[in-house]
Structure 1
Amino acid sequence: MAKDTQGPEVPRRQKVQAAEVGTDILRGLAELAPATSLSKLAEHLDMPASKVHRYLQALIASGFAEQDETTNHYGLGPAALFVGMAALGRLDVVKVTIPRLAELRDAVNETCFLAVWGNHGPAVVHVEQAVRAVTLVTQVGSVLPLLSSSTGLVFNAFLPDRETALLRERELAMADAPFEHELQRTLEAIRTQHLHAIHGLLMRGVNALSAPLFAAGNRLMGVITVVGAAQNFSAEPDSYAAQRLRETAQEISSRMGGVF
């Protein structure tokens, strides 16, 4: 009698294939973040909607995906965020910045956050909330606009043009984005001062100050921002908060081998 050489290989291959499909769906949710419909996700992945739905239920059960009860749209769940933050924790910029961001928050008594460049633009990866916290635009996972936030403008000033061009062109086409000649003047000022202040541009009544973080080779690794309500936080370039922000950015950059 011939020996069955397949044995457990078939179910093992099936498990591997299932894991690959699950990974593809998680990647699709990330690419269509913050949320998407089942039909759009299935079209994006080129998979039958019934198959995507089946895998989504398993991902929801494990916490890697979640469904909005109001819209029925799907997005990444808390388990996916935990894994993502663990991966980000390996980056020097996150490790070096977190304790110094907390010190900055204590010094200026305003909310401070770190953003890194993601697939869709500046992404908030760590927040130190102040007592009078501005939370609407500073939640972990928030993606900020390139041209109408101080954080985004600092990224635009120091990142290679090839990384920002598509997003910049898209936002320039919007009515509330700055005109291009004004934008160039703003970017030159940011490159000179290594600081940018915004008063109520992204949100009325909310001011912000941002500064770049550099690693060896003058590589931009992230941007730190102080944000607060206008009645308490003036966000002037010559203010105490701006001075402490510069000092913090300089210290972080130095630890990563960069020059601020």
Structure 2
Amino acid sequence: MANEAKASESPRRQKVQSAEVGTDILKGLADLAPATSLSKLAEHLGMPASKVHRYLQALIASGFAEQDETTNHYGLGPAALYVGMAALGRLDVVKASIPRLAALRDAVNETCFLAVWGNHGPAVVHVEQAIRAVTLVTQVGSVLPLLGSSTGLVFNAFLPESETAALRTQALRQAGSPTQQMLADAMASIRAHHIHSIHGLLMEGVNALSAPVFAVGDRLMGVLTIVGAAQSFSAEPDSPAARMLLETVEAISQRMGGSFK
């Protein structure tokens, strides 16, 4: 009887171990997003490439991973995105922001998006594209630069120092980064006015306005951004669009127990 019990437990244990390996590979694909080679993924996970490849084929078949036919690199598939978005949908900031973000898009007719703080910096989690023939492509899952975007600068202004220090140090080493004084001035302005405007910083000819969303204890939960082509969107901090953005983030913050006081 004991031997029979052990025999029945063995396949079950193997299934659990296989699920754990598959989960580790999915996490590795997320760490190395948007795409990575088999060798880099295997090195990152500390697994033999042959083992990783075998599991990747199963994940591709189920839609949780995909392979680029041009580069042969691997990335998360549509099924993983679906699961991820379902999890994000449980977050209050996403639930509270989506209808108001759509209303803001309708009011300004420019692309609007919500970003939250992720492992690698500000990550776009919801986008409302402008209703026009030509729109700016801002994708869910995009990670924005901390000091090279209006979204990132707002995160840098309101997040605890411990969360931004490492990324900020890396960013300040890069060519074209702001000086310490320029950054300090920008942070003081953002904290005073709760809004930041950018003209062509992340992409030439593209302007942006960003503002923070707070929860209980004035804890930063996310950043809303309006982005548009310079010829149609001036992104001035005293513009009607800026006023509507501030009204939107304040309404979301109030619902989550935060404030701008």
Q: TM-score, normalised by structure 2?
A: 0.97
Give the paired residue count: 259
Match of 1:206 in 2: 206
User: Contact 2:111 / 2:127 at 8 angstroms: preserved in 1?
Assistant: yes
1:216-253 alpha-carbon deviations (Å, 9 max, x no partner): 00100000000000000000011000000000010000
Match of 1:118 in 2: 118
Match of 2:55 in 1: 55
In the alignment, the residues of structure 2 paired with residue 3 and residue 34 of structure 1 have an alpha-carbon distance, to the nearest angstrom, of: 47
User: Contact 1:134 / 1:227 at 8 angstroms: preserved in 2?
Assistant: no
The 1:148/1:87 distance shift into structure 2, 3 A limit, reads same
User: Contact 2:93 / 2:221 at 8 angstroms: preserved in 1?
Assistant: yes
Match of 1:69 in 2: 69
1:196-223 alpha-carbon deviations (Å, 9 max, x no partner): 0000010000000000000000100000
- Following TM superposition, the consecutive aligned residue runs of length 4 or more in structure 1 with deviations greater than 6 angstroms are none
1:65-90 alpha-carbon deviations (Å, 9 max, x no partner): 11111111111111111111111100
Match of 2:247 in 1: 247
In the alignment, the residues of structure 1 paired with residue 148 and residue 55 of structure 2 have an alpha-carbon distance, to the nearest angstrom, of: 38
Match of 2:136 in 1: 135
Residue 5 of structure 1 aligns to a residue whose secondary structure is helix
1:75-107 alpha-carbon deviations (Å, 9 max, x no partner): 111111111111110000000000000000011
Q: Which amino acid aligns with 1:75?
A: G
Match of 1:103 in 2: 103
State the shift of 1:3 in Å: 5.9
In the alignment, the residues of structure 2 paired with residue 199 and residue 61 of structure 1 have an alpha-carbon distance, to the nearest angstrom, of: 44
Verify: 1:4 aligned to 2:30, yes or no.
no
User: Contact 1:66 / 1:75 at 8 angstroms: preserved in 2?
Assistant: yes
1:95-147 alpha-carbon deviations (Å, 9 max, x no partner): 000000000001111110000000110000000011235433x2111110000
In the alignment, the residues of structure 2 paired with residue 69 and residue 5 of structure 1 have an alpha-carbon distance, to the nearest angstrom, of: 46
1:16-27 equivalent positions in 2, closer than 5 A = 16-27=16-27
In the alignment, the residues of structure 1 paired with residue 225 and residue 177 of structure 2 have an alpha-carbon distance, to the nearest angstrom, of: 20
In the alignment, the residues of structure 1 paired with residue 81 and residue 162 of structure 2 have an alpha-carbon distance, to the nearest angstrom, of: 28
User: Contact 2:214 / 2:256 at 8 angstroms: preserved in 1?
Assistant: yes
Aligned Cα RMSD in Å? 1.2
Residue 233 of structure 1 aligns to a residue whose secondary structure is coil
Residue 90 of structure 1 aligns to a residue whose secondary structure is coil
In the alignment, the residues of structure 2 paired with residue 180 and residue 163 of structure 1 have an alpha-carbon distance, to the nearest angstrom, of: 18
Match of 1:155 in 2: 155
User: Contact 2:136 / 2:228 at 8 angstroms: preserved in 1?
Assistant: no
State the shift of 1:180 in Å: 1.7
User: Contact 1:224 / 1:249 at 8 angstroms: preserved in 2?
Assistant: yes
Q: Which amino acid aligns with 1:171?
A: A
Deviates more, 1:165-174 or 1:125-134: 125-134
Match of 1:31 in 2: 31
Verify: 1:81 aligned to 2:81, yes or no.
yes
Residue 27 of structure 2 aligns to a residue whose secondary structure is helix
